Amino acid sequence: VAEIGAPDRSAITTCAYCGVGCTFRAEMKGDQLVRMVPWKEGKANRGHSCVKGRFAWGYATHRERILNPMIRESIDQPWREVSWEEAFAYAASELKRIQTQYGRLSIGGITSSRCTNEETFLVQKLVRQGFGNNNVDTCARVCHSPTGYGLKTTFGTSAGTQDFDSVEHADVMLVIGANPTDGHPVFASRMKQRLRAKNGQAGAKLIVIDPRRIDMVHSPHIEAAHHLPLRPGTNVAVLTAMAHVIVTEGLADEAFIRERCDWDEYQDWADFVSRPQHSPEFLAPVTGVDPAELRDAARLYATGGNAAIYYGLGVTEHSQGSSTVMAIANLAMATGNIGRPGVGVNPLRGQNNVQGACDMGSFPHELSGYRHISDAETRRLFEQDWGVHLDSEPGLRIPNMLDAAVDGVFKAIYIQGEDILQSDPNTSHVAAGLSAMECVIVHDLFLNETANYAHIFLPGSTFLEKDGTFTNAERRIQPVRKVMEPLNGLADWEVTQELARALDLDWNYAHPSEIMDEIARLTPTFAGVSFARLDELGSIQWPANDAAPKGTPVMHIDGFVRGLGKFVVTDYVPTDEKTGPRFPLLLTTGRILSHYNVGAQTRRTANTAWHPEDRLEIHPQDAEDRGVRDGDWVRLASRSGETTLRALITDRVAPGVVYTTFHHPATQANVVTTDYSDWATNCPEYKVTAVQVIPSNGP
């Protein structure tokens, strides 16, 4: 403070990184952000923060930000700076030309989980109203789309059941496919507080299901009761074995099931999981998990009191991602662990607004509030409001758009705030899809990897430069408040609005609050949300409407949103990605504390000093077998491609498993990942890739 002096203005706003959604006071001096102070009143963080939200904001004014629109006729030409007017006019003329030439369905758009609810709502509206189709998708496609499918199917709504405060009432926590210490640090601290014994009160018990020995398995004052280090790709088998123990040992909560769930469906499921081939012992060769340990973990989950499940992308990013989400929901219903504080099914959302982007109708099959596009009544509501006819058929998902581009029938895309070349699987296929398009519009802060294939670049704005809302992992809608004018002259919602106007749409939003008013008007779960209400309450957890004027911290208390809870038989189906002599190891991927996803933001901050490169974790035995020493360069090869990075020898991973992060473009970890994806949602199977590791001289 002495060095930089007192700030001259500030605003209470929400972190732009992860789904915890910490509140900060952003302090400005002149045209520079000088400090992010964790806000004690923040409901999600209560004055705490991690090294990303607190320190990793230098990207906001980084010299590499692009502040002027640019166009080029082909990607082998240099960029040419143009005025906003010329950029919008050129984009609109290209989109119209392509639709005239190739048809209405030849273009689409991608929304961003880093943008506000209001901005994502506008992008999907632009696609539906302006492009005249449902070819809109969001980056949740590659992370939590199975959560949407699985929880909607079983419970009736695509969201976590609890608020963060609920963890204080948990007696047992089951953490599966998540590494909260790195991915959701502030909430991880709350989990750890509950796991520690204090004031004579016993701490909660912890079960971890993860191929890696994540930090929470064994950290100061915390020892997991059970760690099940399963073979990557066998989540459903492990959960089925746990269900087998619960049902065959008479640990199911039949009173709860009879009252709250479909009893016939439960019986079908119980018959299925009770089969001998679903016992922990029978499945052990598949899962690699000690059957006795698994049995004890299942007993603890079923009988240890309030039991809460927390999960992340280690659940969803599999060919059976949606099945795994439903298997988790089955466990919670079978044991009555739903509908009160301390229990539930809690997806730990990755990006700050992944919940919101999904809520806003960014999927090709759903309008805002998770209402299917085939529902005539819902369509009529939007059609009357927007004055258009809406297609009743779902549009293309991101991977389908890329496939269609390679096939020559999808020709143009508007991508807001996502670097699909780096973040999506099988990089060479993504590049082939983008290369085949005649108009790629990238709307972003930086010339990212995807922009190498773009024809039009529209500069983006940071969370500091706009008003709006983000929705965190506990369905909490929180304000984002402007503390500086957009460096490029336009906030992201204004860019989309101007593009819509260039396409002859009559959009006249004067402020994001008007967009939220429209969202509330069209979305029953948001009916009680407005900027004024958010200023009054600080935040609101949806559903917020006449039935719940102050929002809903815990869902499904008296009944499931869908009526009766639905048990779904989830048969374990092995992934098609197989190890073999050429590719004998299994690669799985994840994040590290100081960085965030593809690193577009954090690599442009001091945080990069803590983790300047991606490393490959490899077990000492596997390293020795290959003559690899700690820090050596290795070649990581799969059937899709190969990359080079340094080895980190650790027994945190089991023999036969290697692990890396995907934060640095020099590594491009997704060069090696496969085309396999979740059967229901196409969420890529990032977590299982058969690979070989070979000593290398470096890149």
Residue closer to ligand SF4 by CB (options 310, 410) is: 310
Least distance in angstroms from the C-beta of 591 to ligand SF4: 10
Residue closer to ligand SF4 by CB (options 450, 607) is: 607
Which residues does 394 contact at the CB level (< 8 Å), separation at least 6?
A: 134, 364, 365, 373, 374
Residue closer to ligand SF4 by CB (options 192, 205) is: 192
Residue closer to ligand SF4 by CB (options 114, 443) is: 114
**Contact between 143 and 683 (Cβ < 8 Å):** yes
- Look up residue 423 and give its two tokens: 């973040």
Peptide bond into 574 cis (omega under 30): no
Least distance in angstroms from the C-beta of 81 to ligand SF4: 33
Least distance in angstroms from the C-beta of 204 to ligand SF4: 20
**Contact between 279 and 291 (Cβ < 8 Å):** yes
Q: Could you report how far apart the first and last alpha carbons of the chain are, in Å?
A: 43
Q: What is the DSSP string of 409-454?
A: ---EEEEES--HHHHSSSHHHHHHHHHT-SEEEEEESS--SGGGG-
Q: How far apart are CA 45 and CA 27, in angstroms?
A: 18
Residue closer to ligand SF4 by CB (options 40, 629) is: 40
Helices (H) and strands (E) in the chain, counts: 22, 28
**Window 635-694: residues binding ligand SF4 (CB under 6 A):** none
Residue closer to ligand SF4 by CB (options 488, 607) is: 607
Least distance in angstroms from the C-beta of 21 to ligand SF4: 5
Q: Which residue's Cβ has the minimum distance to ligand SF4?
A: 53
Residue closer to ligand SF4 by CB (options 137, 163) is: 163
**Window 11-70: residues binding ligand SF4 (CB under 6 A):** 15, 17-18, 20-22, 45, 49-50, 52-53
Residue closer to ligand SF4 by CB (options 36, 587) is: 36
Residue closer to ligand SF4 by CB (options 15, 126) is: 15
Over the window 151 to 190, marking each residue x when it contacts ligand SF4 by CB under 6 A and - when it does not, the resulting string is ---------------------------------xxx----
φ, ψ for residue 608 (rounded to 5)?
-65, -20
Least distance in angstroms from the C-beta of 186 to ligand SF4: 4
Residue closer to ligand SF4 by CB (options 191, 649) is: 191
Q: Compute CA 613 distance to the chain's CA centroid, rounded to the nearest angstrom.
A: 23
State the sign of the Cα–Cα–Cα–Cα dihedral 129, 131, 134, 137.
Answer: negative
Q: How far apart are CA 440 and CA 426, in angstroms?
A: 19
**525 part of the interface to ligand SF4, by CB under 6 A:** no
Which residues does 322 contact at the CB level (< 8 Å), separation at least 6?
A: 146, 149, 150, 153, 316, 678, 679, 680, 681, 683
Residue closer to ligand SF4 by CB (options 186, 544) is: 186
Nearest to 184 by CA among 472, 612, 462, 470: 472
In which residue are the tokens 């507080």 written?
Answer: 193
Nearest to 119 by CA among 484, 367, 473, 460: 460
Q: How far, in Å, are 336, 340, 513 from residue 255 at the CA level?
A: 9, 16, 46
Residue closer to ligand SF4 by CB (options 54, 62) is: 54
Least distance in angstroms from the C-beta of 678 to ligand SF4: 25
Least distance in angstroms from the C-beta of 268 to ligand SF4: 40
Q: How far apart are CA 459 and CA 504, in angstroms?
A: 22
Residue closer to ligand SF4 by CB (options 156, 185) is: 185
Least distance in angstroms from the C-beta of 187 to ligand SF4: 7
**Contact between 181 and 20 (Cβ < 8 Å):** no
Residue closer to ligand SF4 by CB (options 466, 476) is: 476
Q: How far apart are CA 685 and CA 575, in angstroms?
A: 9
Pairing relationship of beta strands 107-111 and 136-138 according to DSSP bridges: parallel
Least distance in angstroms from the C-beta of 113 to ligand SF4: 13
**Contact between 71 and 80 (Cβ < 8 Å):** yes
**Window 70-89: residues binding ligand SF4 (CB under 6 A):** none
Least distance in angstroms from the C-beta of 18 to ligand SF4: 3
Q: How far apart are CA 244 and CA 567, in angstroms?
A: 14
Least distance in angstroms from the C-beta of 165 to ligand SF4: 16
Q: How far apart are CA 699 and CA 415, in angstroms?
A: 30
**Contact between 167 and 194 (Cβ < 8 Å):** yes
Burial (CB < 10 A; 0-12, 13-18, 19+), residue 646, is middle
Least distance in angstroms from the C-beta of 64 to ligand SF4: 21
Least distance in angstroms from the C-beta of 507 to ligand SF4: 31
Least distance in angstroms from the C-beta of 16 to ligand SF4: 8
* Size of the residue set binding ligand SF4 (CB under 6 A): 14
Which residues does 194 contact at the CB level (< 8 Å), separation at least 6?
A: 167, 168, 170, 173, 203, 204
Least distance in angstroms from the C-beta of 190 to ligand SF4: 11
Residue closer to ligand SF4 by CB (options 351, 668) is: 351
Which residues does 584 contact at the CB level (< 8 Å), separation at least 6?
A: 656, 690, 692
Residue type, 312: G
Least distance in angstroms from the C-beta of 542 to ligand SF4: 19
Residue closer to ligand SF4 by CB (options 125, 591) is: 591
Q: How far apart are CA 240 and CA 331, in angstroms?
A: 9
Q: How far apart are CA 487 and CA 575, in angstroms?
A: 47
Binding site for ligand SF4 (CB under 6 A): 15, 17-18, 20-22, 45, 49-50, 52-53, 184-186
